[in-house]
Amino acid sequence: MRARRFDLIAFDWDGTLFDSTAVIARCIQSAVTDLGYTPPSQEAASYVIGMGLAQALAHAAPDVPREQYALLGERFRFHYMAHQNDLSLFAGVLPLLAELKERQHLLAVATGKNRAGLDEVLRTQALSGVFDSSRTADETAGKPHPRMLHELMGEFGVKPERTLMIGDTTHDLQMALNAGCASLGVSYG
């Protein structure tokens, strides 16, 4: 039986390529605490990773009034920036990406990060030319809405059956299902 070949492979960023899940959860907890509210559990804070920041904070910190979300987001970014040196790519990511590029796959990132955050981490990790495209939660609908994948497929003229989404959360896998694409879940993130 011939192996299925995908033309476009889209990766989630946090928890899939980048080892940041524990740091993000701690930063959510710290931001909520900064505002004087009871922080979410590690499980609740981890569950929202992959969503856009506003959506994630609303789910992780339902006691925080909506009018404080901007401040909560600022506090989250403050704590996240303080932990930049604690973050790195997972082992094996660079050779994997190089092998996929060599095999002529189109590579993309579909992430709940914002554009500025993704561009910065791609620059600091020396990955600025590796991906053919990317979509972030501040540019389009967040996960699990399929728009990120629809836009990426449209950009390259790739059909859903030729697209693979790789991620570490149910949000990633549900987005792929909603877009009619195959998905691969990773459990190390």
Active site residues: 12, 14
User: With contact defined as beta carbons under 8 Å apart, do 176 and 156 qualify?
Assistant: no
User: With contact defined as beta carbons under 8 Å apart, do 11 and 108 qualify?
Assistant: yes
C-alpha span between 23 and 3 (Å, rounded): 37
Strand partners, 108: 10, 133
Strand partners, 163: 8
Listed residue (9, 14, 13, 17) closest to 181, CA to CA: 9
Residues 6 or more apart whose CB falls under 8 angstroms from that of 180 comprise: 146, 160, 161
Tokens for 91? 């082992």
User: With contact defined as beta carbons under 8 Å apart, do 60 and 32 qualify?
Assistant: yes
Beta strands in the chain (DSSP E): 8-11, 18-19, 88-89, 106-111, 133-136, 163-167, 182-185
